Amino acid sequence: MENFFSSSSLTAELNAIATQVAVHGKIPIEHFCLKNGSVTDEFGADRPGGKSHEGVDYKVGFADAIIAPVDGFIKRRYYDSPYGGFSIVFQPKDYSFELRIRHLCQFNPHRENAALNRMIKGSLDEHVKEAVSSGKVIGYAGLTGRATAQEGHAIIHIAAYTTSGSKFNPVRVIAYHV
């Protein structure tokens, strides 16, 4: 089993997550989208101002359905202005961590009223515990961050957190190929 130690305060939580991954396996990143995409940015990559990237960016098509990769719960839906779009907090059923999936549209922009998406900006913040089954649509890839309609793609950002709120590298729980 991989050693997840990053600080003494996280040891118990990260070891529990490591045990869950050993039992259930990593979640394939391809399970977030019905179409193939590609990783465009990794956890820890340099950012301006001495910051580092806090998740994994996955390039998908604009308005592609983003689906629950495994059975779990939507814990929160909200408009996240620093990340420029609709975001969700998803907790897989058999794991004690959360995935924050950002850069989404709440509604399919090809089929829903675009004004509806604009209306929720700045006002949506729902704390829920909605059970979702693997394969259920939980959002749609939006044009946020550095993605534009001219590029013909969108990027979803996936960050991993312990249930107490500490960030960790999603490569520990998500299987992806660069």
- The parts of the chain modelled with pLDDT lower than 70 are 1-9, 34, 81-84, 106-124, 144-153, 177-178
Query: Which option is the CATH number for 28-175: 2.70.70.10, 3.30.450.20, 3.40.190.10, 3.40.220.10?
Result: 2.70.70.10
Sign of CA dihedral 57, 58, 60, 64: negative
pLDDT at 49: 83
| Contact (CB, 8 A) for 157 and 147 | no
pLDDT at 161: 92
pLDDT at 137: 87
Would you list the domain boundaries of the chain? 28-175
Q: Which two tokens stand for residue 150?
A: 């001219």
pTM above 0.85, yes or no: no
pLDDT at 62: 79
